[in-house]
Chain A
């Protein structure tokens, strides 16, 4: 079965960097677009970034554009989110999510990893 496991979250000071990872198994990772979605404490879901199946296309939410970079390593079945210049408003649970076929909605999600930006 599909499994997505995020790691790399933690407490980080404003202005610092953090890299999240999402290990994938149970499906052909290189055949699917992938996304990061976040959820601030007590708030709703916010889409963060997308990467195409071969890594050739990337899209970002305006709130993270220029600060976050999504990437993937298909031979390692791993998705990444490099987060630079972190702000308090980036505090959230970050989920990786697999596209449903060729479509940008999400049957499969990881369990999430918490990023807390605080001095």
Chain B
């Protein structure tokens, strides 16, 4: 099973600042990594697929990078509505599909 480790657990930043979220895989997942945003009481929303491709309708301030075992989700200029939990997920080697433990982004 591929284990995904996200860091930091919580990120507290001000509007307009840059957020950098990390996801590290226990073995290579190639580029088969997705990022999701989840707000309280809502289903997850796909932000990025295949490491760096923005999903339809996702603002350009969200970008993904990385390959192999190290991946980054960057929010270039935080908006208040970006306050949420963010999860990474790999589809390289499954079953099982696995998700990271999540990073909480708080807007000061």
Contact = CB atoms under 8 A, between A and B. Distances in A.
A76 to B, nearest CB: 22
Nearest to A100: B49
A59 B56 CA distance: 28
B96 A61 contact: yes
Contacts, number: 57
A98 to B, nearest CB: 11
User: Range of interface residues on chain B?
Assistant: 20 to 34
A62 B49 contact: no
B104 to A, nearest CB: 11
B7 interface: no
Give the dominant DSSP class at B's interface: loop
Interface residues of A, number: 21
A105 B94 CA distance: 12
B99 A104 contact: no
A104 B91 contact: yes
A95 B45 CA distance: 12
Nearest to A46: B99
Contacts of A32: none
Interface string B55-97: 1100000000000000000000000000000010101001111
B96 A45 contact: no
Contacts of B49: 100, 103, 105, 107
B98 to A, nearest CB: 7
B87 A59 contact: no
A47 B44 contact: no
B100 A44 contact: yes
B107 interface: no
Given A105-B34, A109-B44, A61 B95 contact: yes
B46 interface: yes
B52 to A, nearest CB: 13
Interface of B: 34, 36, 38, 43-46, 49, 55-56, 87, 89, 91, 94-102
Interface of A: 35, 44-47, 50, 59-62, 95, 100, 103-107, 109-112
The 4 closest A-B CB pairs, nearest first, are A109-B43, A59-B95, A105-B34, A47-B97
